[in-house]
Chain A
Amino acid sequence: MLNDKGRPTRPEAADEAPATASTFTGNRALDVEEALIFEIGRAEVTGVDLPTPKGAKSRLGAHARTTPIALPGLAEPEAVRHYVRLSRKNYSIDAGLYPLGSCTMKHNPRLNEKMARLPGFADVHPLQPTGTVEGALEVIADVGRWLIELTGMAACAMSPKAGAHGELAGMMAIKAALSARGSSKPVVLVPESAHGTNPATAALIGFEVKSVPARADGTVAAADVKAAIDDRVGAIMLTNPNTCGIFEPEVAEIAAAIHDAGGYFYADGANFNAIVGKVRPGDFGVDAMHINLHKTFSTPHGGGGPGAGPVVLSERLAAFAPLPFVRIEAGRPVLVEDPSQTRAGETPYGRLAAFHGQMGMFTRALAYMLSHGADGLRQASEDAVLSANYVRASLQDLMTVAFPDHPSMHEVLFDDRFLEGTGVTTLDFAKAMIDEGYHPMTMYFPLVVHGAMLIEPTESESKASLDLFVATLRDLVMGAKAGDAARFTQAPRFSPRRRLDETRAARAPKLKWEKPVAAE
């Protein structure tokens, strides 16, 4: 089938003289051009003082390196300047509202960073005798306990390293449970509105993916799920609240239907931050759900990871939890990391990663949980939902809410009908937000909506911040409708780079720096 999700990926030539033309350096005040380390570094320079080796006899055998590596070095002041200059070309949640729907860019408390850096957590080895790391094991057990209580589930596997890895962990538990029953149910139902990781995860471990349509109101109908269920269906993967920012009203019925058919309910927990302390996934029939600690529990996104994706499991799946896990015995944590250490009723399906999971993320998440408490976590969810609905109420007369029949949860989805006839696309609109000092919202996701714009303000914004954001978007919409297309199609104009030529990057990939051939 023709995929019609294409959009311009090669910018029009800029129609204005470059604003840098007037400086000798090409710099623009605080925005300084910075070359690559390979262009400024030198192989003989180092920013680390180390003692001179004594030159003892080598035990490297015939394997000693003979070829140069081609690694540049920078002295410490050069390195600091290089990375500080680069950092200034990035947008960040610390610097402004970051309304990326589904990504949950909330404030990252610095206390969490401080706790993660306590030597007792940061400077311990994963294979030290367990008697020397009981405090670390307690952290793992505690985070698991919080997640179990918040979700109403039976167990929590802590080792998955990211959301998608948690999905894999959960779907593996389902597969293990199915095969333990001797059941061959190779099909997984995935709604069209699902994030791409869901079908990718299911396919990775050999499930066949069968699509379930989304209704015109942005939700999944229990009737459609029931119609899709046959004796080959072993599971459904459903995001709730869903990718359109709506709590699935028929979720309990959907869960019952899949359970009646002998299957399992995998919930994508990407949007758990809307419902913490308000409703428990265990109460609406979930069997497995990953939790993105980097979303709901504010561990920093770090420019694309590291994340952490513990997966909570229902009574029906708990026995299959992967190794390693921490068991509490007589009030003390016991690490189980090998099948030989398991007890009756523990049938782990294997191991997902070396060692014990993203400890550095657990300490941050625990600091966040302890800081908020049960009361603060619930308030955070309510404020996130309140803020999203406030943005929606403040924009719905000018922008088109994709699914007006349902209240939004923590994010509001608009489509591009309001831009019809303006010559401005979702992409242009997003880029114009950059010029106004905002990171754009998530765009063109979910795919079930044309020109999707998914806005998630989070609970971290003050009302004044939300009001300015709303006023900015209103002005942009008026501008688009008034025919000021250049404000959009030429945007962004004030960022460190203008629109990038993605076509060129993909047609002739240049994925590392190559020494230029000397121009003679």
Chain B
Amino acid sequence: MKLYTKDHEWIAIDGDVATVGITTYAQEQLGDVVFVELPDVGKQLSKGGEAAVVESVKAASEVYAPLDGEVVEANAKLADDPGLVNLEPETGGWFVKMKLPAGTDTSELMDEAAYEAFVQTL
């Protein structure tokens, strides 16, 4: 199940683990990504709090946690190859995997069709 936020993050939920990254649209807006600062494994993220920072040459953006959860893995490949965020934003360029508490409510997130419609309005 793949969901989206208005901050242009995607969330792929598999069981109780959510993989989070930024969307194709977001990386196009940012331009060439040159650095991604990721949280440490074990860090508790709360919805809306800062989870990561993504930098292009001329811009820096915070990436906010779309849901509550604990970081179980950060994408180590981005340290050496931040360009993956541009090349494979919604696959190999993921940022973090987080473990969701039971009963996580995802109803505020958009599905793909809703996100595409949202992007059209921008």
User: Which of chain A's residues have a CB closer than 8 A to the CB of B35?
Assistant: 506-507
- Measured in the bound complex, the distance between the Cα atoms of B80 and A283 in whole Å is 56
Residues on A with C-beta less than 8 A from B46 are none
Contacts of A45 in B (CB 8 A): none
Assess the A5–B32 pair: CB atoms within 8 A: no
Contact A9 to B31, CB < 8 A, known contacts A1-B7, A1-B61, A2-B7: yes
Inter-chain contact A2/B58, CB cutoff 8 Å = no
Contact yes or no, B31 A2, CB < 8 A? no
Interface size in chain B (residues, C-beta < 8 A): 19
Q: Mark A485-506, 1 if CB is under 8 A from B, else 0.
A: 0000000000000000011011
Q: A8-B31, A503-B34, A506-B34 are in contact. Are A3 and B7 (CB under 8 A)?
A: no
B83 & A6 in contact (Cβ 8 Å cutoff)? no
The CA of A507 and the CA of B34, in the complex, are separated in Å by: 5
Residues of A within 8 Å of B120, CB to CB, are none
Knowing A2-B26, A2-B29, A506-B35, say if A9 contacts B61 (CB, 8 Å). Answer: no
Task: Give the residues from 1 to 26 in chain A that come closer than 8 angstroms, CB to CB, to chain B.
Answer: 1-10
Contact between chains at B58 and A6 (CB < 8 Å): yes
B57 in contact with A9 (CB, 8 Å): yes
Q: How many interface residues does A have (CB within 8 Å)?
A: 16
Q: Within the assembled complex, what's the spacing in Å between the Cα atoms of A415 and B110?
A: 34
B56 and A6 form a contact (CB under 8 A): yes
Could you tell me if B59 and A3 are in contact, using CB atoms closer than 8 angstroms? Answer: yes
Give the most central of B7, B8, B31, B62: most A CB within 10 Å: B31
Task: Kindly report which residue of chain A lies nearest to residue B86, judged by CB atoms.
Answer: A503
Closest partner residue, chain A, to B30 (CB atom):
A6
| Residues 473-520 of A at the B interface (beta carbon under 8 Å) | 502-503, 505-507
B89 within 8 A of A: no
Known: A6-B56, A7-B58, A9-B56. A507 touches B31 (CB 8 A): no
Q: Is there a chain A Cβ closer than 8 Å to B82's Cβ?
A: yes
Shortest Cβ distance from A503 into chain B, in angstroms?
A: 4
User: Measured between C-beta atoms, what is the minimum distance from A301 to chain B in Å?
Assistant: 22
Q: Which of A458-474 contact B (CB under 8 A)?
A: none
Find chain B residues with CB under 8 A from A502 CB: 57
Confirm or deny: B87 has a beta carbon within 8 angstroms of a beta carbon on chain A. Answer: no
Q: How far is the CB of A177 from chain B (nearest CB, A)?
A: 33
Residues of A contacting B58 in the complex (Cβ-Cβ under 8 angstroms): 5-7, 9, 444
Interface centre among B8, B29, B57 (most CB of A within 10 A): B57
Inter-chain CA distance A6–B35, complex, in Å, is: 14
B residues in contact with A7, CB < 8 Å = 31, 58
Query: Shortest distance in angstroms between B94's beta carbon and chain A's nearest beta carbon?
Result: 17
Asked if A6 contacts B60 (CB within 8 A), the reply is no
Q: Is B59 a contact partner of A507 (Cβ separation < 8 A)?
A: no
A6 to B30, CA, bound (A): 4
Q: Render B33-70 as a binary contact track against A, CB cut-off 8 A, 1 for contact.
A: 01100000000000000000001111111100000000
Give A68 to B61 CA distance when docked, in angstroms. 43
- B82 near A3: Cβ-Cβ < 8 Å: no
Q: Are A6 and B34 in contact (CB under 8 A)?
A: no
A507, B8: Cβ atoms under 8 Å? no
A8 vs B59: C-alpha distance in the bound complex, in angstroms?
Answer: 11
CB distance from B56 to the nearest CB of A (A): 5
Contact A10 B59 (CB under 8 A): no
0/1 per residue, A81-120, Cβ < 8 Å to B?
0000000000000000000000000000000000000000
Residue of A nearest to B32 (CB): A503
* B32 pairs with A9, CB closer than 8 A: yes
- For residue B55, which residues in chain A have a CB less than 8 angstroms away from its CB? 506
Interface centre among A1, A2, A7, A507 (most CB of B within 10 A): A2
Complex Cα distance, B34 from A4, in Å, reads 15
Determine if A10 and B60 form an interchain contact, defined as CB atoms under 8 angstroms apart.
Answer: no
Identify which of A444, A505, A507 contacts B82 (C-beta below 8 A).
Answer: A507
What are the residues of chain A within 8 A of B34 when measuring CB–CB? 503, 506-507
Smallest beta-carbon distance A43→chain B, Å:
35
Given A9-B56, A9-B58, A506-B34, is A4 in contact with B29 using a C-beta cutoff of 8 Å? yes
Q: Chain A residues near B30 (CB, 8 Å)?
A: 2-4, 6
B59 interface neighbour in A5, A503, A505, Cβ under 8 Å? A5
Of chain A, the residue at the smallest CB distance from B34 is A506
| Residues A6 and B7 in contact, CB atoms below 8 Å apart | no
Report how far A506 CA is from B57 CA in the complex, Å.
7
Q: 22 pairs across A/B with beta carbons < 8 Å?
A: A3-B29, A4-B29, A5-B58, A6-B30, A6-B32, A6-B56, A6-B59, A7-B58, A8-B31, A9-B31, A9-B32, A9-B56, A10-B32, A444-B58, A502-B57, A503-B57, A506-B34, A506-B35, A506-B55, A506-B57, A507-B34, A507-B35
Q: Closest 10 CB pairs between A and B?
A: A6-B31, A506-B34, A9-B57, A503-B32, A3-B61, A3-B59, A6-B30, A4-B29, A502-B57, A507-B34
Contact surface of B with A, Cβ cutoff 8 Å: 7-8, 26, 29-32, 34-35, 55-62, 82-83
